[in-house]
């Protein structure tokens, strides 16, 4: 398993604890829509991250809201989390990708 990059990674068990907590959390699933429809983390929304969508999304998310990005493998979520952080957003990626969530 890869080590979380620059403290941007969140492990599946940590995410599960966060979801049970009271703090607001946005979950964006970046996988293909059919994969999302087949199975996803409860409370997550499917997000398409083309250039136009990214720019729109960045301006609408409150900077004090924790964001967790989910992809399979994790690389794409890490890339988008890095970009979101450059815009001042509190973004993380699910370490191990969606497959690390199965069974939670």
Q: What is the CATH number of the domain that holds 51?
A: 3.40.250.10
Residues facing 91 on adjacent strands: 67
Indicate the pTM of the whole model: 0.86
4 lies in some domain = no
The count of domains in the chain is 1
- pLDDT reported for residue 35: 96
70 lies in some domain = yes
Quote the tokens at residue 17: 């604890």
d(CA 37, CA 45): 10
Tokens 């924790």 correspond to what residue? 66
pLDDT tens digits along 55-82: 677 778 888 899 999 999 999 999 999 9
pLDDT tens digits along 6-44: 689 999 999 999 999 988 899 999 999 999 999 999 999
2 lies in some domain = no
Q: Count other C-beta atoms under 10 Å from residue 78's C-beta.
A: 24
Sheet holding 25-29, edge to edge: 9-10, 90-94, 66-70, 25-29, 45-46
């Amino acid at each position: 398993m890869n080590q979380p990059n620059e403290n941007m990674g969140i492990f599946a068990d940590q995410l599960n604890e966060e979801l049970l907590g009271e703090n607001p959390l946005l979950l964006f699933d970046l996988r293909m829509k059919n994969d999302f429809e087949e199975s996803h983390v409860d409370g997550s929304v499917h997000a398409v991250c083309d250039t136009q969508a990214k720019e729109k999304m960045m301006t609408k998310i409150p900077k004090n809201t924790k964001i967790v990005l989910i992809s399979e493998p994790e690389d794409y979520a890490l890339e988008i989390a890095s970009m979101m952080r450059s815009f001042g957003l509190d973004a993380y990626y699910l370490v191990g990708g969606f497959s690390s969530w199965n069974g939670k």
